[in-house]
Amino acid sequence: MEKALSVSVTMPDPSRVASSREQVWLPLLDRIVELMEGCRSVLLFVGSRRLCERLCLRLNDHVGYEMSRTHHGSMSRERRLEVERLLKAGELRCIVATSSLELGIDVGHVDLVIQIDSPISAASGIQRIGRAGHAVGETSRGVILSRQKGNLPEIAVLSRQIAARDIEEIRVPRQAMDVLSQQIVAMAAMNDWSLAELYGLIVRSDSYFDLPRERLEELLQVLSGFYPFARPLLEWDREDGTVRRKGGASAMAAIVGAGTIPQSGGYPVHHLDSRVHLGELDEEFIQESRVGDVFQLGTSSWIIRDIRKDRVYVSEAANRFSEVPFWRNESGSRSYELGARIGAFLREMTDRLASGHSVTEDNTRSVEEEIMSFLAERYGMDADSADLLIGTIRSQSQASELPTDRRIVIETYKDLTNQTHVIVLNHFGRRVNRAWQLAIERQFEQLLPYRMYGNAKDDGIEFVLPEWDASWLRTISQVTPSNVESLLTEAIAGSPFLAVAFRRIAETALLLSRSFTRTPLWQQRLRSEELLRDAMPYAERFPYLREAMKVCLYEYLDCDRLKRVLENIRDGEIEVVVRETGHPSPFASKFLADYVNMRIYEETASTKRSSFN
């Protein structure tokens, strides 16, 4: 029998006005404490390690005792197990966690799961909320707490999917050359193989059933040292077709390089006296830190005593005013399928609200009350979140147009510095929008003598130009289903996308040597760039370069879904509406913070360069 899932959506009290920086947290903390009332044990999930540390610190300060502890991937395994033990034993009331606590963790009975902001996918939401209510016949109770009203459409759709157990489609990777290389090196380290036997075994796998034999031979050429810039990891006798180990290199590479998780370049953190491993810090954070700095990790304050090339030594610090570290890691992207559902949800909401426009004010209010009841019943939204969602939809419709699954809205406006902002509003997810952004920028390169600012998010794309002509909108429409892949291929070549993809593939394929000690990230990048540069002349035959292009086009970006969007625009299934506004609409204002941050960082960097010169 399936366990029942109860999901509700709420927000902090929107009427409270913060008079200081710290008071911004109070509505969120009050709502969390209110939700936890009557619960003995609670899991609180957040989207990043930094937010995990910040929220746990403020939550404990808010209630006046250590009610919660953190649990994330940059804490050592021993400290994570200790946190789990404390919750299970009833000595801790709450754990603030990232996805590190999502799967297969025994923390005893959990009364409630609180998810801060969107879980990004229904599968993740089900897995997290399913941690609660493990007693026989008990319901798993979960609350999705949104910090911003702009996230409410996505959270509403996901809450309904979670309650209905409607998870996303599972896609099996096909013909991943890096994983295949790793397996072949390990196989050769154990036994000798004939090429026929090796190929026969590989094509029995579901992921490689249609692998051409020529691709296997191209892969073996690289692994056997055919290219002088790639170290040989096995021997391939082309006369008798035998693949065998190459001394101890095959076994060592297979053992040290096992797995597909790329090296992070992070700094291990150890206790100065006991040498106990405490966790890991981001390389960039350590570069900006000095001996004597105090930071927070795992709800404890630590003072840096020594920074070495492969680790950091710390000791306990009594100072509660510690800095919260940052970890460089891009957040997940909304799927195209979820974006289509969000667009359909907003279209339905628009139709329901439109039924009250031409009647009296009392009737309009009754329509809104009916919609709020509908949102509570079908999407689990409380009165505050439903009212804010309705208000946001009305504000967007009045300021511009509402983007849906059948409508893309292009807004243009000038800011105070006379820069023109062009925003393509849609809900297709960052992977689709980033692909569209790169293709559009490639088209604009033929028109403009400079590179314009571009930013892709789950809810659209923003371009900022110092000059603008309305006729330039035609350039956006010149990206079509027939030329988008070639435009993206040109844009990706030589871009950071290709460099990152190639480095991760080369690392998994064992082309880059791995070790048990920390390798600085800059050193990994340098080795990868050198290998990529040497492989470029053989691009047509070098399998890992082709694999990197495939990963860029169909994993980092979503070229297939973008083609579908462009086809729907061409066929009239999606309309494109252009609006010139005096200021950004509510949906377009999401892009302002990113642009302002970019300008601040650019000006700061320019000031530093001027001072240095």
Cα angle at 249 between 246 and 251, to 5 degrees? 95
| 560 has pLDDT over 80 | yes
Output the six-digit token pair for 149.
């009203």
Burial track 25-58 (b if 16+ CB lie within 10 A, e otherwise):
bbbbbebbeebbeeeebbbbbbbbbbbbbbbbbb
Q: What is the mean pLDDT of the chain?
A: 88
If DSSP codes are grouped into helix, strand and coil, which group holds residue 484? helix
What was the pLDDT predicted at 469? 86
359 has a pLDDT exceeding 50: no
Each residue's pLDDT tens digit, 566-584: 999 999 999 999 999 999 9
- The tokens describing 531, both together, are 């290998």
- Tell me what pLDDT residue 521 has: 72
pLDDT at residue 612 is higher than 50: no
Beta bridge partners of 170: none
Residue 57: CB partners within 8 Å, gap ≥ 6?
296, 299, 324
**Is it the case that residue 607 has pLDDT exceeding 70?**
no
Residue 95 phi/psi, 5-degree rounding, is -120, 130
| The pLDDT of residue 18 is above 70 | no
The dihedral of CA 517, 521, 524, 526: what is its sign? negative
Per-residue pLDDT reduced to its tens digit, 123-138: 999 999 988 887 777 8
> What are the angstrom distances between the C-alpha of 386 and each of 74, 174, 231, 290?
36, 42, 60, 47
Cα–Cα distance measured from residue 459 to residue 333, given in angstroms and rounded to the nearest whole number: 10
CA distance 405 to 55: 35
Question: pLDDT-based confidence at 588, cuts 50/70/90?
Answer: very high
- Taking the model in full, what pTM does it have? 0.89
Backbone angles phi, psi at 390, to 5 degrees: -65, -40
- Quote the CA–CA distance of 474 and 366 in Å, as a whole number: 44
426-459 tens-digit pLDDT = 999 999 999 999 999 999 988 888 888 999 999 9
Does residue 516 register a pLDDT over 70? no
What order of strands is seen across the sheet that includes strand 312-316? 277-281, 267-271, 312-316, 300-307, 294-297
> What whole-number distance in Å separates Cα of residue 145 and Cα of residue 28?
9
- Identify the pLDDT of residue 310: 79
Instruction: Give the pLDDT of residue 87.
Output: 92
Running DSSP on this structure, what letter comes out for residue 542? -
Distance (Å) of CA 349 to CA 9, 137, 248, 370, 376:
17, 35, 65, 12, 13
Predicted pLDDT of residue 595: 85
Instruction: Determine the average pLDDT of the residues in 33-42.
Output: 93
For the cut 80, the answer to whether the pLDDT of residue 606 exceeds it is no
Are residues 9 and 146 in contact, defined by beta-carbon separation less than 8 angstroms?
yes
| DSSP summary character for residue 427 | -
**pLDDT digits 0-9 by tens, 178-236:** 999 999 999 998 999 999 999 999 999 999 999 999 999 999 999 998 998 988 899 99
CA separation for the pair 370, 598 (Å, rounded): 43
Instruction: Print burial letters for 405-417: b (CB count within 10 Å at least 16), e (below 16).
Output: bebbbbbbbeeee
Whole-number Cα distances in Å, 266 to 98, 274, 281:
18, 21, 6
Beta bridge partners of 95: 43, 69
Q: Give burial (CB, 10 Å; 0-12/13-18/19+) of 538.
A: middle
Q: What are phi and psi of 22, to 5 degrees?
A: -70, -30
User: Looking up tokens 């659209």, which residue turns up?
Assistant: 460
DSSP state of 226: -
Strands 453-457 and 267-271: unpaired
Q: What is the DSSP string of 32-83?
A: HHHHHTT-S-EEEE-S-HHHHHHHHHHHHHHHTS--EEEE-TTB-HHHHHHH
In 146-254, beta strands by DSSP E = 193-194, 234-237, 242-245
